[in-house]
Structure 1
Amino acid sequence: MSILYGKLFEIMQQKGVRKTDLRSNGIHPAVIKKIMDGGTITTETIDRLCALLDCQPGDIIEFERSDDSKESIVN
């Protein structure tokens, strides 16, 4: 996976936001599990996270290029 959520967990810790707070703000537990597992989430979820944490998308996610991600785009 080339999208990483480590920055999300860092900003949550800095702001005192817990996973239960995410659920309270409309983020489904299955989506939280996807985030924890490094899975794919929607831009709607990113929008909710940014609103809750008062941040920009780049503050909570980052892109890491991998060799297989480049090949899947080219092929």
Structure 2
Amino acid sequence: MAISYDKLWKLSIDKKLNKTQLRDCSGITSSTLARLSKNKGVSLEALERICRALDCEIGDVVEFVEDKVSLNE
């Protein structure tokens, strides 16, 4: 399973926030923002800050998706 933050980016667009504004309003670091942009894992604390800033639930910003790598390769 892989992590996807596509929902976060769609929600940010709906709230008219660019990534810098999201970082500033949620209080996350630039390195956390970079990890989010690469669909890498981040701390639960960072996700909590984002959810508080956007007034949403964790399922509104992150989801698990099937890996696109084939096991036969």
TM superposition score category, shorter chain reference:
0.7 to 0.9
**Which residue of structure 2 lines up, in the alignment, with residue 49 of structure 1?**
50
Same amino acid, percent of matched pairs: 33
Cα distance, 1:17 vs structure 2: 1.5
Q: Distance in 2 between matches of 1:51 and 1:23?
A: 12
**Which residue of structure 1 lines up, in the alignment, with residue 7 of structure 2?**
7
Q: Could you report, residue by residue, the CA deviation over 1:16-72 in whole angstroms, capped at 9, with x for unpaired residues? A: 112111332311111100000111100001001101111000001111244x8xxxx
Question: TM-score w.r.t. structure 2 length?
Answer: 0.81
When you count helix as a share of all residues, which structure comes out higher? Answer: 1
Contact kept, 8 Å, 2:5 with 2:61, in 1: the verdict is: yes
When the two structures are aligned, how many residues end up with a matched partner? 68
**Which one-letter code corresponds to 1:48 in the other structure?**
R
Q: Which consecutive segments of 4 or more residues in structure 1 shift more than 3 A?
A: none
| Structural RMSD (CA) | 1.8
